[in-house]
Amino acid sequence: MFKQLTGGVTAAKGFMAASTAAGIKYKDRTDMAMVFSKEPCTVAGTFTTNVVKAACVQWDMKIVKESEAVHAAVVNSGIANACTGKQGFDACEATAAAVKEALGVETDSCLVASTGVIGMQLPVEKLTNGVKAMAPKLDESLEAGTAAAKAIMTTDTIHKEVAVTFTAGGKTVTLGGMSKGSGMIHPNMCTMLGFLTTDLAIEKSLLQEALSEVVQDTFNMITVDGDTSTNDTLLIMANGLAGNEKITAKGEDYQNFLNALFYVCEYLSKIMAADGEGASKLFEAKVVNAKSKEDARTLSRAIVSSNLSKAAIYGCDANFGRFLCAMGYSGAEFDQNDVELFFESKEGRLQVFDKGTPIVFDEDVATKILGADEVTIFVDMHEGDATATAWGCDLTYDYVKINADYRS
Query: Which amino acid is it at 120?
Result: M
Alpha-carbon distance 122 to 74, whole Å? 14
Q: How far apart are CA 302 and CA 330, in angstroms?
A: 6
Around 246, how many Cα atoms within 13 Å sit in the side-chain half-sphere? 12
Task: Give dist(CA 248, CA 46) in Å, integer.
Answer: 21
Q: What is the CA radius of gyration of the chain?
A: 22
Instruction: Please give the Cα distance from 154 to 309 (Å, whole number).
Output: 26
Compute CA 199 distance to the chain's CA centroid, rounded to the nearest angstrom.
21
Residues recognised as catalytic:
191
Q: In 3-state terms, what secondary structure has residue 268?
A: helix
C-alpha span between 341 and 345 (Å, rounded): 14
247 neighbors 203 (Cβ within 8 angstroms): yes
List, as one string, the DSSP characters of 345-402: ETTEEEEEEETTEE----HHHHHHHHTSSEEEEEEE--S-SEEEEEEEE---HHHHHH
Cα dist from 367 to 68, 279, 347, 376, whole Å: 55, 18, 10, 13
Whole-angstrom Cα distance, residue 34 to residue 17?
Answer: 5
From the number of C-beta atoms within 10 Å of its C-beta (0-12, 13-18, 19+), residue 319 rates as: middle
Strand order in the sheet with 374-380: 357-358, 348-354, 340-345, 374-380, 282-290, 386-393
Exposure b/e, 147-167, CB count within 10 A at least 16 = b: bbbbbbbbbbeebbbbbbbbb
CA dihedral sign, ordered 276, 281, 284, 285: negative
